[in-house]
């Protein structure tokens, strides 16, 4: 019984199967549902959120006639949905009065738990399944590898502490009241995080417009203007075998009022290398060379989680080894994520990069790698990417030629370095705030579990000695079932009980 302390007086343990009218999963028509554009929504684990609510941004359907002929898996109000297999096994949703579909069904990856209202509040069992106690039963019943799951034995092998029915309703009401307050706090934190993202974008915008360093320029009037730097770039460019011949057009930025000491150039004119990453398949052996992939670029920074690796002696390694200051550009992704960039700073002594990334190696005499990365990630960089992106099989793409042609503001090299220091300062403040917000969000998650633990230990609401004990309720239900099994009288509870895979 999960080492719960002694249950309160008038409470009792029961198997989950003994409080259910139905325990069943659904299915899909032969051939799947990929090409079905309308019908009845087919609900899977991907639609269930960890807070018990739903995300229906991507819904698939089963035909109406298929739904009408189903004898299991049809969703009703107050049903509890539990993911039964895969990496999210145990994720639990609740069909409340605000559920948006009049008709829907679960697919083969989801169980429906339908409660006997005479014995238990549906929300009470839902909260039990959301608690660490309920999730521990999921783990105890999990069979198979990472793609395993729970089967119909879960409901027979798992238990729930039953409070008297009136107390269950009081517990549910109190949990909902407390969770509502926590939800309001989470929403406020999400607004704060959105403000921080806008703040960072505002800092980048001000940086690449030259507004962050207005006072610095006044104090350094003798700094060589970017026109002189541009003349050196032009000389360097014309000595290259490969040239960018298209016109330099920065009008789309609506950024014509650069500081007097600034001018325009292009990525291709200040770079010494623009290179696609390796397409060789990487593995999970951590003794190899880390491979930076598009998922490792987050919020303008490189992260080193969920890495893949290439064998150290693979012949492809040397030409893809990253150097400090290389800018990594995500050339293929969803439309809102293509173009995200970050600078490699020797995070690992030896790392390489995957094919969905482009490495830009900058001539440091002319341009600062971090300044370039910040410009690409700014609203101006996003605007250029949107103007040149192409769609390929549902993915947005920007190739190396278009990347090389991106117009970029050219500031004196000393001022570029100063801008980076300003951005680092503002980002430090922003990141400190975000770390605090994330900590509070984590604390709220722990507080939810603490509330659930207190509830199922019987300490969230007061007990009423006048409530009918749960044991008597269980005995009455058991007696009715036994009578029905013996055929002495009809019992709708027994007739409706369904246990199906």
- Residues 119-149 have pLDDT tens digits of 899 999 999 999 999 999 999 999 987 689 9
Band (484; pLDDT cuts 50, 70, 90): low
Mean local confidence (pLDDT), 360-385: 94
Q: How far, in Å, are 34, 58, 64, 74, 209 from residue 40 at the CA level?
A: 13, 13, 6, 10, 52
Question: What was the pLDDT predicted at 498?
Answer: 52
Q: Distance between CA 210 and CA 259 in Å, rounded?
A: 6
Question: What was the pLDDT predicted at 393?
Answer: 72
Q: Distance between CA 38 and CA 60 in Å, rounded?
A: 8
Same-domain pairing of 203 and 337: no
> Does 25 map to a domain?
yes
Is 217 a residue whose pLDDT tops 90?
yes
Question: What was the pLDDT predicted at 257?
Answer: 83
The residue with greater pLDDT, 497 or 484, is 484
Same-domain pairing of 20 and 111: yes
The fraction of the chain above a pLDDT of 70, given in percent, is 92
Place of tokens 């993911």: 83
In this structure, of 52-56, 136-140, 371-375, 493-497, the range with the lowest mean pLDDT score is 493-497
Question: What was the pLDDT predicted at 431?
Answer: 86
Band (29; pLDDT cuts 50, 70, 90): confident
The fraction of the chain above a pLDDT of 90, given in percent, is 70
Same-domain pairing of 285 and 401: yes
Same-domain pairing of 295 and 214: no
Mean local confidence (pLDDT), 453-482: 88
Question: What was the pLDDT predicted at 45?
Answer: 95
Same-domain pairing of 181 and 258: no
Same-domain pairing of 157 and 112: yes
In this structure, of 232-246, 301-315, 427-441, the range with the lowest mean pLDDT score is 232-246
Same-domain pairing of 81 and 197: no
Same-domain pairing of 275 and 299: yes
Contact between residue 378 and residue 208 where contact means Cβ atoms under 8 Å apart: yes
Neighbours of 194 (CB within 10 A): 10
Q: Distance between CA 142 and CA 90 in Å, rounded?
A: 9
Mean local confidence (pLDDT), 44-61: 93
Phi, psi values for residue 206, rounded to 5°: -65, -35
Pairing of strands 20-25, 498-499: parallel
Question: What was the pLDDT predicted at 493?
Answer: 42
Q: Distance between CA 171 and CA 8 in Å, rounded?
A: 13
pTM recorded for the entire structure: 0.73
Is 361 a residue whose pLDDT tops 80?
yes
Q: Does residue 181 sit in helix, strand or coil?
A: helix
Mean local confidence (pLDDT), 188-217: 93
> Does 230 map to a domain?
no
The overall average pLDDT reported for the chain is 89
Tokens in use for 266?
């292009």
Same-domain pairing of 40 and 60: yes
Is 369 a residue whose pLDDT tops 50?
yes
Nearest to 119 by CA among 203, 216, 21: 21
In this structure, of 104-108, 112-116, 121-125, 279-283, the range with the lowest mean pLDDT score is 279-283
- Residues 384-425 have pLDDT tens digits of 999 999 987 778 899 999 999 999 999 999 999 999 999 999
Domain span including residue 92: 12-163+469-499
> Does 133 map to a domain?
yes
Is 3 a residue whose pLDDT tops 70?
no
> Does 436 map to a domain?
yes
Which positions ≥6 away from 66 have C-beta within 8 Å?
29, 39, 40
Question: What was the pLDDT predicted at 30?
Answer: 80
- Residues 241-279 have pLDDT tens digits of 444 555 567 777 877 788 999 999 999 999 999 999 999
The residue with greater pLDDT, 160 or 313, is 160
The residue with greater pLDDT, 500 or 7, is 7
Q: How many domains does the chain have?
A: 3
Question: What was the pLDDT predicted at 491?
Answer: 41
Is 56 a residue whose pLDDT tops 80?
yes
Same-domain pairing of 270 and 405: yes
Contact between residue 406 and residue 274 where contact means Cβ atoms under 8 Å apart: no
The number of angstroms, rounded, from the C-alpha of 128 to the middle of its chain's C-alpha atoms is: 25
> Does 2 map to a domain?
no
Mean local confidence (pLDDT), 149-178: 95
Write the DSSP assignment of 475-489 as a string of letters: HHHHHHHHHHHTTSS
Mean local confidence (pLDDT), 318-347: 91
Q: How many CA atoms lie within 13 A of 385 on its CB side?
A: 24
Nearest to 317 by CA among 289, 355, 349: 289
Q: Distance between CA 285 and CA 229 in Å, rounded?
A: 46
> Does 176 map to a domain?
yes
Same-domain pairing of 121 and 250: no
Q: How far, in Å, are 107, 149, 391, 403 from residue 395 at the CA level?
A: 28, 32, 6, 17
Pairing of strands 301-302, 297-298: antiparallel
In this structure, of 67-71, 206-210, 474-478, 491-495, the range with the lowest mean pLDDT score is 491-495
Is 238 a residue whose pLDDT tops 80?
no
Contact between residue 323 and residue 362 where contact means Cβ atoms under 8 Å apart: no
Query: Residue 45: which CATH number?
Result: 3.90.220.20
> Does 232 map to a domain?
no
> Does 260 map to a domain?
yes
The residue with greater pLDDT, 145 or 178, is 178
Q: How many CA atoms lie within 13 A of 252 on its CB side?
A: 15
Same-domain pairing of 155 and 133: yes
Neighbours of 300 (CB within 10 A): 19
Work out the angle at residue 51's Cα, subtended by the Cα atoms of residues 38 and 141, and round it to the nearest 5 degrees: 90
Is 488 a residue whose pLDDT tops 50?
no
Question: What was the pLDDT predicted at 240?
Answer: 57
Question: What was the pLDDT predicted at 244?
Answer: 53
Contact between residue 391 and residue 333 where contact means Cβ atoms under 8 Å apart: no
Contact between residue 294 and residue 332 where contact means Cβ atoms under 8 Å apart: yes
Write the DSSP assignment of 245-262 as a string of letters: -S----GGGT-----TT-
């Amino acid at each position: 019984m999960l080492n719960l302390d002694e249950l309160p007086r008038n409470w009792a343990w029961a198997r989950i199967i003994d409080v259910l009218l139905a325990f069943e999963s659904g299915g899909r028509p032969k051939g799947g549902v990929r090409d079905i554009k309308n019908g009845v929504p087919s609900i899977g684990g991907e639609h269930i959120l960890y807070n018990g609510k739903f995300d229906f941004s991507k819904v698939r359907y089963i035909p109406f006639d298929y739904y009408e002929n189903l004898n299991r898996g049809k969703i009703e109000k107050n049903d509890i949905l539990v993911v039964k297999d895969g990496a999210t096994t145990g994720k639990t949703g609740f069909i409340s009065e605000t559920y948006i579909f009049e008709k829907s069904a679960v697919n083969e990856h989801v169980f429906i738990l339908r409660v006997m209202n005479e014995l238990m509040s549906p929300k009470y069992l839902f909260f039990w399944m959301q608690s660490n106690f309920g999730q521990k039963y999921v783990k105890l019943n999990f069979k198979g590898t990472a793609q395993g799951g729970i089967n119909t034995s879960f409901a027979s092998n798992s238990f729930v502490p039953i409070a008297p029915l009136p107390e269950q309703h009081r517990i549910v009401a109190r949990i909902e009241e407390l969770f509502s307050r926590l939800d309001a706090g989470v929403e406020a934190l999400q607004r704060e995080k959105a403000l921080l993202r806008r703040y960072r974008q505002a800092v980048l915008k001000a940086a690449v417009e030259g507004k962050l360093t207005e006072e610095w320029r006044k104090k350094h009037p003798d700094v060589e203007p970017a026109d002189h730097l541009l003349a050196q770039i032009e000389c360097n460019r014309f000595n290259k075998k490969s040239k960018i011949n298209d016109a330099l057009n920065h009008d789309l930025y609506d950024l014509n009022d650069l500081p007097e000491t600034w001018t325009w150039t292009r990525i291709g004119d200040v770079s010494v290398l623009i290179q696609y990453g390796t397409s060789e398949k990487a593995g999970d052996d951590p003794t190899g060379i880390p491979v930076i992939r598009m998922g490792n670029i987050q919020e303008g920074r490189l992260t080193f989680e969920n890495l893949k690796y290439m064998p150290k002696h693979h012949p492809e390694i040397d030409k893809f080894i990253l150097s400090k200051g290389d800018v990594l550009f995500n050339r293929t992704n969803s439309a809102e994520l293509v173009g995200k960039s970050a600078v490699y700073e020797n995070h690992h002594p030896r790392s390489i990069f995957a094919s969905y990334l482009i490495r830009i190696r900058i001539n440091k005499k002319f341009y600062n790698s971090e300044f370039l990365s910040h410009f690409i990630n700014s609203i101006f960089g996003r605007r250029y990417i949107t103007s040149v992106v192409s769609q390929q099989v549902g993915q947005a793409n920007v190739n190396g030629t278009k990347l090389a042609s991106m117009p970029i503001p050219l500031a004196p090299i000393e001022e570029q370095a100063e801008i980076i220091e300003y951005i680092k300062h503002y980002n430090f403040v922003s990141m400190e705030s975000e770390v605090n917000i994330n900590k509070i969000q984590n604390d709220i998650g722990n507080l939810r579990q603490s509330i659930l633990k207190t509830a199922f230990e019987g300490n969230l609401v007061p007990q009423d000695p006048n409530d009918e004990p749960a044991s008597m309720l269980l005995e009455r239900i058991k007696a009715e079932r036994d009578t029905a099994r013996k055929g002495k009288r009809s019992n709708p509870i027994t007739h409706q009980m369904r246990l199906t895979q």
